Chain A
């Protein structure tokens, strides 16, 4: 029953992917996939994480780029599977003693079992034309010797890491019922290209919008405005980034990144400035800060800029909106009682309530479901740290502890991780990612200063 449902589900995914690709030829190259129908879950020790090994894929062909791809895919897949901490990954440099697989389905499972693995990913890579490749993968249970999962992808040779990311997401879903984030992107602003702002005041460095894969690889530059840009926010369909641009007044621009199209939905000017956009969960509306009534208040507008509604009305600063997962409420920052604190208000402007009661709380981000919490940055000394307040219990937990200043949290689409900017280490601002339990810290940028991450759906 389950497997029939799953196959139907996969068919519908495949069909809709083909439909989407036919509709929008500019979709970033989707991988075609076929799956075998076997359903086995690896790991028979109750309560223990399954131990998975990922040796290099078999390179089917003499070309050096095939061999390079076979190694890269295994390395990236190992990192991707490690990231969610659902598996205990068998460290790759312990694989030396194990003979290479003779084929995709003929591997020395007893040797892998001896090394302590519960499952082994077996994969092969081949070039099917100058620009297209095929990756075939199986996940073997070393005890039952059965392949519990199998898939075949074909697609472009331009970015082989994509194959590992898709494979990781499918293994997480198939084996753990988990929505992986290996194919998600993180947008941020950076001064990495060291350009100067075109303007009347010298020595000002530009900040432009970039995005990268969730692990920091595959960086793309979005804006080329030679000015200041801020606060990128992915649209819920993952195809557009809204951000604050100085033109030279502050305004909200929406860049449809796969189409090269730019919109200014709320049409700012030097008297009516708009900043800090936040998409509603269904992508139909934008919440933002504007000075249109004389000082910073929150507003909601439709995606085309129509139907602008004022959400807050207080002489203090109201800013940094973030939507609840259902879109019924927003959290924001206000200094109405003195220092900035986090508040929640209904999307209709009613039901205001204060959420934080610390010295200085700033830049909230509402978690995706099923978690019901808000991450924010809180002053903890000279700098800020990332904290999370559980909205059901009002309990606060702290994710970072005093290294540099830690700001601008953004949740992964599955709610299990938080990206943020931090000056820890060398002192430059970099993007870091940490688990929502405060474990698994990793840095994903290293060139220039990078800040204000936005994790894509």
Chain B
């Protein structure tokens, strides 16, 4: 849309320029003293008897060719990578930092992915549901992160690739005050921080 508007405007200006000498530009309506026609060229006396050729009709210049943009090299920022992260979160029971059998399976799957991408560095964030004080939940989130980290290390992931942090109840997945939201918020969340 924007491009066609611009090319249209350019075209009008070009037309305007081409005919400016003869008829003056419509954009400049101020009266101009008519100039005397230039003296006929010396060597063309014989031809001068025939009537002068009519000026060629104004021709629109051809539309400029569309230059294809260079394809951007496909890259995914860490933000995008984390938005569609292959690393699944691990969920916990209320006021608990014990790993469930399901949680252990998820950490195993994450360990496999981390083995495949051996340069990835991750931070395990411990999160809590919206019940309890923000202060106490920092400790609870810390334990969830540490328990998850320990299990990952036990599965053979180098501890140098893992950082942990607790966010307590500060960053819920789902801020609603329902049992379902609470269970989604009690989690160890994996963030890829380097690759």
Contacts and interface: CB of A to CB of B under 8 A. Distances in A.
- Are the chains A and B members of one assembly? yes
Interface of A: 200-202, 204, 207, 228, 230-231, 244, 246, 248-250, 270, 273, 275-276, 289, 291, 294-296, 317-320, 333, 335, 339-340, 360, 362-363, 377, 382, 384, 407-408, 451-452
Contact of B138 (A207, A230, A377): A230
A451 B169 CA distance: 13
Contacts of B164: 270
A362 B133 contact: yes
B96 to A, nearest CB: 10
B90 interface: no
A249 B132 contact: no
Interface stretch (B2-10, B49-57, B103-111, B140-148): B140-148
A202 B143 CA distance: 24
A249 B163 contact: yes
Given A270-B164, A289-B138, 5 more contacts: A228-B170, A250-B138, A250-B142, A317-B140, A407-B134
A231 B136 CA distance: 11
A317 B79 CA distance: 33
Contacts of B171: 201, 204
Q: Which 10 A-B pairs have the closest CB atoms?
A: A317-B139, A296-B139, A362-B133, A319-B139, A270-B163, A363-B133, A320-B135, A363-B135, A200-B78, A200-B82
22 contacts: A200-B192, A200-B193, A201-B189, A201-B191, A230-B135, A230-B138, A244-B138, A246-B165, A250-B165, A270-B164, A294-B146, A295-B143, A296-B142, A317-B140, A317-B143, A319-B139, A333-B136, A362-B133, A363-B133, A363-B135, A407-B134, A452-B135
B143 A319 contact: no
A244 B138 CA distance: 11
A371 to B, nearest CB: 22
Nearest to A407: B133
Interface of A is mostly: strand
A377 B137 CA distance: 14
Nearest to A319: B139
A230 B136 contact: no
Given A202-B79, A250-B166, A291-B146, A377 B133 contact: yes
Nearest to A452: B134
A340 B145 CA distance: 19
B167 interface: yes
Contacts of B189: 201
Contacts of A294: 146
B174 interface: no
Contact of A289 (B78, B139, B191): B139
B83 A319 contact: no
B170 A207 contact: yes
Interface of B: 78-79, 82-83, 95, 123, 132-136, 138-140, 142-143, 146, 163-167, 170-171, 177, 189, 191-193
B138 A340 contact: no
B138 A276 contact: yes
A363 B167 contact: no
Contacts of A335: 95, 136
B75 to A, nearest CB: 15
Given A249-B165, A270-B164, A335-B95, A201 B82 contact: yes
Contacts of A244: 138
Contact of A362 (B123, B135, B142): B135
B136 A317 contact: yes
Nearest to B79: A200
Contacts of A382: 177
A230 B143 contact: no
Counting chain B CB atoms within 10 Å of each CB, which of A273, A294, A318, A320 scores highest? Answer: A273
Contacts of B133: 320, 340, 362-363, 377, 384, 407-408
B191 A451 contact: no
A104 B191 CA distance: 67
B158 to A, nearest CB: 14
A335 B165 CA distance: 20
B134 A408 contact: yes
Contacts of B138: 230, 244, 250, 275-276, 289, 319
A266 to B, nearest CB: 16
B135 A231 contact: yes
Contact of A200 (B140, B167, B177, B191): B191
Contacts of B177: 382
A296 B82 contact: no
Contacts of B132: 340, 360, 362
B57 to A, nearest CB: 59
B135 A408 contact: yes
A454 to B, nearest CB: 12
Contact of B142 (A248, A273, A339, A384): A273
Given A340-B136, A452-B134, A291 B163 contact: no
Q: In the complex, which of the residues B95, B136, B177 has the most CB atoms of chain A within 10 Å of its own CB atom?
A: B136
